[in-house]
Amino acid sequence: MKNVGSYPNTRLRRNRKTEWSRRLVSENKLSTNDLIWPIFIREGKNIKEPIKTMPGVYRYTLDKIEKLVEKAIRKKIPMLALFPNTPISKKDTKGSEALNKNNLVCRALKLIKKNNDEIGLMCDVALDPYTTHGHDGILKNNFVDNDETLKILIKQSILQAKMGCDVIAPSDMMDGRIGAIRNALDKKGFKNVQLLSYAVKYASNFYGPFRDAVGSKKLLKSNKKDYQMDFSNSKEALREVALDIGEGADFVMVKPGMPYLDVIKLVKDNFKIPVFAYQVSGEYSLIKNGIINKILNEDAIYESLMSFKRAGASAIVTYFADQMADKLG
Ligand code: PBG
């Protein structure tokens, strides 16, 4: 770097001296417009069920959802992400429940979209909430079969679009799914439904609490390393993103978030597509437990979210969205 000056003529602390001056030179902003709020839904009536490994996060029955949606709209959160906790009795090896037009997600979509168009709804496309083995696709000889899984993911996407889903978010990491889903959506008349590709999704240890929340943790006996990315790689992320842009993704996700800020920046520096970050369940629980146990103070949440803006993320999926929207106003 040239022209940085030198001490004592240059004193960087001068610009930091007062609050108003710090405001003048601040480089990044976090606003409610940047937040996506994940919501866990479950069967039953009038239940708000705590998730042990995610203090402060709940599974809601559908009769409780309308209030949450109203709250999110009032706070101007742009989008919700819906995640179902499917009863074990409805799971099978093929994840058939994913294609049931009366499944939890479909009922939630219909319910929420009936009343409003003021908030976006995004849904995961993957089979893990529906399979008895907890994998995102269907197994052949203990290996998730890419092309057989694609056939089901296409149907799952079309069903979600029919029910009113605005943003289809494939999180399964099968090869070729973005193109296959885009083509199928277009053929069925859903050319304006957006596609958010979880293009860069790592086989991460930070998903544990989420798997508790959707009820797949105990079912999953192995890991997802043969489809999710190896966390020692970052150049491979660029190949994933390039392919998905070519196949028609409208935005791409990097996931998890904080351990992968370098990857967000790398993607942002190489492509002009909007990049979203997912501050996943394990990250949430670490920070939340830190606050509960008075090891951290609450401002750590804001700091953690600002790191995504610095890295170049357009939006952040975070379980803190609700709380953060209150703070940001
Ligand atoms: C499933 C999915 C996962 C998450 C979102 N969608 C878990 C996984 O791949 O095992 C994790 C989100 C979180 O941890 O908050 N395809």
> 132-142: per-residue pLDDT in tens?
999 999 999 99
Percent of the chain scored above 90 by pLDDT?
95
On whether residue 222 sits in a domain, the answer given is yes
Q: What is the pLDDT of residue 66?
A: 92
Q: What is the pLDDT of residue 4?
A: 82
On whether residue 3 sits in a domain, the answer given is no
On whether residue 5 sits in a domain, the answer given is no
Four-CA torsion 244, 194, 97, 66, nearest 10 degrees: 140
On whether residue 230 sits in a domain, the answer given is yes
Q: Is the shortest distance between the CB of 136 and ligand 1 below 6 Å?
A: yes
Q: What is the pLDDT of residue 114?
A: 87
Distance 9 CA to ligand 1 centre (A): 51
CATH of the domain at 301: 3.20.20.70
Q: Which residue lies with its CA nearest to atom 11 of ligand 1?
A: 207
pLDDT average, residue stretch 17-31: 98
Q: Is the shortest distance between the CB of 251 and ligand 1 below 6 Å?
A: no
Q: Is the shortest distance between the CB of 128 and ligand 1 below 6 Å?
A: yes
> 88-105: per-residue pLDDT in tens?
999 999 999 999 999 999
117 has a pLDDT exceeding 90: no
216 has a pLDDT exceeding 80: yes
* CA-38 nearest atom, ligand 1: 15
Q: Which range of residues forms the domain containing residue 75?
A: 33-328
On whether residue 187 sits in a domain, the answer given is yes
Distance 83 CA to ligand 1 centre (A): 9
pLDDT average, residue stretch 199-222: 94
Q: What is the mean pLDDT of the chain?
A: 97
Q: What is the DSSP letter of 268?
A: H
115 has a pLDDT exceeding 80: no
Q: What is the pLDDT of residue 3?
A: 80
Question: 171, 219, 221, 260: which to mutate for ligand 1, most atoms within 8 A of CB?
Answer: 171
Distance 130 CA to ligand 1 centre (A): 13
On whether residue 7 sits in a domain, the answer given is no
Q: What is the pLDDT of residue 279?
A: 98
Q: What is the pLDDT of residue 153?
A: 98
Q: How far apart are the first and last CA of the chain?
A: 38
> 283-300: per-residue pLDDT in tens?
999 999 999 999 999 999
Cα 267 → chain centroid: 17
2 has a pLDDT exceeding 90: no
- pLDDT level of residue 329 (50, 70, 90 thresholds): confident
Residue for token digits 């979880």?
A: 198
Q: What is the pLDDT of residue 261?
A: 98
Give dist(CA 255, CA 263) in Å, integer.
Answer: 9
In order of 52, 300, 301, 306, the CA distances from 289 in angstroms are: 11, 12, 12, 20
Q: Contact 289/319 with Cβ under 8 angstroms?
A: no
On whether residue 13 sits in a domain, the answer given is no
Q: What is the pLDDT of residue 92?
A: 97
**Residues identified as active-site:** 201, 255
* CA-209 nearest atom, ligand 1: 14
Range of weakest confidence among 22-31, 148-157, 182-191, 213-222: 213-222
On whether residue 12 sits in a domain, the answer given is no
112 has a pLDDT exceeding 90: yes
- pLDDT level of residue 189 (50, 70, 90 thresholds): very high
**What one-character-per-residue DSSP string does 36-96 give?**
EEEEEEESSSS-EEE-TTSTT-EEEEGGGHHHHHHHHHHTT--EEEEEE---GGG-BTT-G
* CA-134 nearest atom, ligand 1: 10
Number of folded domains that form the chain: 1
Percent of the chain scored above 70 by pLDDT?
100
Q: Which residue lies with its CA nearest to atom 2 of ligand 1?
A: 171
Q: Is the shortest distance between the CB of 97 and ligand 1 below 6 Å?
A: no
Distance 169 CA to ligand 1 centre (A): 12
- pLDDT level of residue 180 (50, 70, 90 thresholds): very high
Q: Is the shortest distance between the CB of 322 and ligand 1 below 6 Å?
A: no
264 has a pLDDT exceeding 90: yes
186 has a pLDDT exceeding 90: yes
Look at strands 58-61 and 139-140 and give their pairing: unpaired
